[in-house]
Amino acid sequence: MRSEGVKNDLGATAGVRYRNGRPRTPVANEYLAAENRILKAQIKGRLLLSQEEKATLAEIAHRLGRKALEEVASTAQPDTILGWYRRLIANGYVGARGSTSIVV
């Protein structure tokens, strides 16, 4: 039975993810989403993210797209996360394989 918190198949929405050379299944994505919800429920107050953590989330969020991000983002509002990405690009950030300039 699917968890109510996961509204759609994250694998279909965001594409298949790979770990250790093997595709991550939709069930694995569902597990990770449930685990994240449980852990976040135990955290009181705001999460304090480093610049590198913001950059990581921003880059993935950009690839994911606003519509899918609205369904999965809980660390910050989708507009905030996509704003981090726009700031990265404005500051000359090219990506994980390009420039390492990270200023969010």
Q: Is 95 left (phi over 0), alpha (psi -120 to 50) or beta?
A: left
pTM over 0.85: no
Q: How many domains, the chain?
A: 2
Q: What is the DSSP letter of 5?
A: T
User: Both tokens of residue 17?
Assistant: 């993810």
Pair 40, 52 in one domain: no
Burial class of residue 29 (count of CB atoms within 10 Å of its CB; 0-12, 13-18, 19+): buried
Q: What integer pLDDT is reported at residue 72 of this predicted model? A: 85
Distance of alpha carbon 83 from the chain centroid = 14
Q: What is the band of 19 on the pLDDT scale with cuts at 50, 70, 90?
A: low
57 within domain boundaries: yes
Pair 70, 100 in one domain: yes
Pair 61, 78 in one domain: yes
The domain of 22 spans: 7-45
